[in-house]
Each structure stands twice: as structure tokens, then as C-alpha cells.
Structure 1
């Protein structure tokens, strides 16, 4: 199940997905907005990047009082573009593990379509393929 969400920060879902790179920079786009809204999440993410723990296909988590923030790597470096394969690998990981996180609802952005330069129609096909058949309320 999914419905369109215009502003991810207005979502009432239990979890929010933050599109990130793997080098510890949140300098532009939606990631920068997450950094500004959740500075402690950014510090934890940056430390994980410094230790080489943020990788394509593996999601990273930060729990605030009100939300679970899921950092979803969509690109290796802030200078590079996203790849559809990288989005798919992350979506596969998500669908194989989400039930462990005790969430009932989640809001995704259009993964890789901002600073990552992917086309929404291509990404939408992937997101629907993996997110339409899970037992979770999904907003995109």
C-alpha cells in the first residue's frame, strides 16, 4: 500500500527514509534537510561513514524520540550520480529486513531522483515492484 506524500517531514509514519551517500556528507538536497532537522542522526551517520560502515545495499538506522530515520545509500559519493541498480539493492535489503524493525508505516522520498539525477518513472517502477507487496503502510 502506498500513497503520495508531498513533504516527507509532514508524514505521520513511524519511519522516514533519508537518501544518503557513503562518504559522510549531507550538503544538499533532502539529505541536507534531514541533517538540519536531526543533527544527532547526522553525527552518528558521519561516524559510521568514517568507519566504512555505510555501503550501497545496506541501510543504517537512527532512532529519535518520534521517528526511526533510515539512511538509504543511493550513491557512493556526493559527487557521483545514483544508479538504478543501487536503488534496487537497497530496496531488496529493505523488503528482506523491515519486519525486524517494529515499524508499521514508512515514508520514502523519490530515491535517487534529486541530487542522484535518476528519472522518477524508472525509480517508481522499482519502488512499486518491491514495496507494493509488503505488509506495511508506505508513503512515497
Structure 2
């Protein structure tokens, strides 16, 4: 069972900077992840929050709730949340960081991820497909 966590402002997909993020919504992304999960034989739970503390709680509780891995798009928290970095590092589940846009081709401040170093990997710039690749990887680890 996989946990998909989307951070701040991802609830605005389809409205926020469509030239960067596209026209699909968070609901489209969640449906797509659920479909991919079914194809992989892996139940998926999708969550989104604009609140750092809520995201920390989800990471902390994931193993106890029976999840085998986490796909996380931390949004802007990627670049400055040492609390999220520590939460990821403090729990045993494999985590893959995903970004819809190519963060390394954007503003300079987006080039630094404080969370990537404690994740198994990072996928950036492949749109929604990055989530599928992360899910495939985590499913292989569980297998």
C-alpha cells in the first residue's frame, strides 16, 4: 500500500501557472495515481495539504497505518523544511520525492532540495508520469 502526499499549492493544479504545471487538476492526478496503483496491484491513498504540520503527521504515521512506501511532492517545503526532512529521515519507509516541473530549470531557489538527501530518489520534470515511476519503484521494493 502506497501513500501519495502532495504539499502546498498542489491543490491549485490546473489553475496555478498552467504553462508550468499543465491544465490537469489535483483530482485528475489522484485518479491517475489510483488507476496506476490498480494496474500495479498496489492500493494507493492520496493526500494533499497546505499545512506543514499535517504533512509531518502523515509521514510520521505512515508505517503504523500499513503503508509500504511514500511518494511525496513537498511543493515549496522541498526548499526549506528541515522539519519535513527530519520527519522523512526519522521513519523507516522508502520515500521518493517527485516534482511535476523540472525544478532545476526554474528559479535558482528551486534548485536546492533539503528533503532529497533523505529520500531513495528524486524524479523531476516528467509531469504526472513521475508519480507512476515512483510508484513502480516502490512496488518493486515491496515485491
Q: TM-score, normalised by structure 2?
A: 0.44
1 or 2, which has the higher helix percentage? Answer: 2
Return the structure number with greater relative CO, CA threshold 8 A, min gap 6: 1
